[in-house]
Amino acid sequence: MAKSDPIERSLDRLGELRHADAPETVTQEVREFLRNRSNLVVAKAAKVARELQIRALVPDMVAAFNKLMADPPRLDKRCAATTEIVSALFELNYDDPAPYLAGLKHVQMEASFGPPVDEAAKLRAVSAQGLVRTRRPDALTEVMQLLVDPEPAARIGAVRALAVNGGEAGILLLRLKVLTGDAEPAVLGECFAGLLEASSAKSVPFVAKYIDSEDGDVAQAAMLALGESRLPVAYEVLREKWSRTVGMPGKKILLAAIAASKLDAAIAFLTSLIETESIPTATAAVEALSIYNRNERVRKSVNDAVAARGNETLVANFKRDFA
């Protein structure tokens, strides 16, 4: 695209406005860009409005959304603008359900190198999160349907919506989703994480059942969700799992989950493995702890443990992972 192209000039100017100092001027310019004929320009204008939290532009974004939804395949390729607009409305706490409901129901099949691709999955996902935060009485009923959407991204959006704003009904729906399964492990992982965040006390035992799943991907998703919850009781579940885990692939996943908890007890446990376990296990523990490579306290503890072993392979892996 040539630099003289008006679309590129508009995109460049929007990039400059993100760092401008005159709020009123910024608002007016972004408002004009929301009326642009290019969906790419409208998309970036909505993104700037979201990043700068310009609530005065909400009516303009709603108007732009309605205009694009009159003929989305022609006016908004890949749902670029409508998705950014709904994301901005959601983050700016817009509570009219109309745009969210429209986005939730939108499917946009577009040509690709293979079969046609549904480009509206992310739009449906964000719309689900926006809709459940409104006061629409049937919001959960509408969002629930996305749990069986053909696109994983849309299903994940529904899971997040139900976890954050679905209340007790949302928690039950997420449990049902886990019990009925999903072809995409990431969807179940999002269910596990959502349950642990929404109802930790009741959900740890439920999620813990899946760390021994015969499906390795499901077991991994459950372990990582438990670790990332940063709950001491979840860490204890992972420690118990460690005591009966033998294969190195399973150990590496488990060590990563334990490290993700970011609990002092977890860090101390992983450091002790470096000091006492076999070199392959110690190496895996160093790799798991590498997420703390900018934490001087942890870095020193790991360095001391590695130095005490005096193993060249372990030292080399420490230098690589903590570079």
- Contact between 125 and 90 under an 8 Å Cβ cutoff? The reply is no
318 and 286 housed in the same domain:
yes
* pTM for the full predicted model: 0.91
Query: What average pLDDT does this structure show over 130-151?
Result: 96
Residue 227 lies in a domain: yes
Same domain, yes or no: 220 and 179: yes
Q: Which domain holds residue 50?
A: 1-16+31-77
Average pLDDT over residues 12-41: 94
For residue 53, is it left (φ>0), alpha (ψ between -120 and 50) or beta? left
What are 228-256's pLDDT values in tens digits?
Answer: 999 999 999 999 999 998 888 889 999 99
pLDDT at position 3 over 70: no
| pLDDT tens profile 206-226 | 999 999 999 999 999 999 999
Is 114 part of a structural domain of the chain?
no
170 with 253, same domain? yes
In a domain, 189, yes or no: yes
Confidence tier at 1 by pLDDT (50, 70, 90): very low
Q: Is residue 300 part of a domain?
A: yes
Domains contained in the chain, number: 3
pLDDT, residue 255, reads: 97
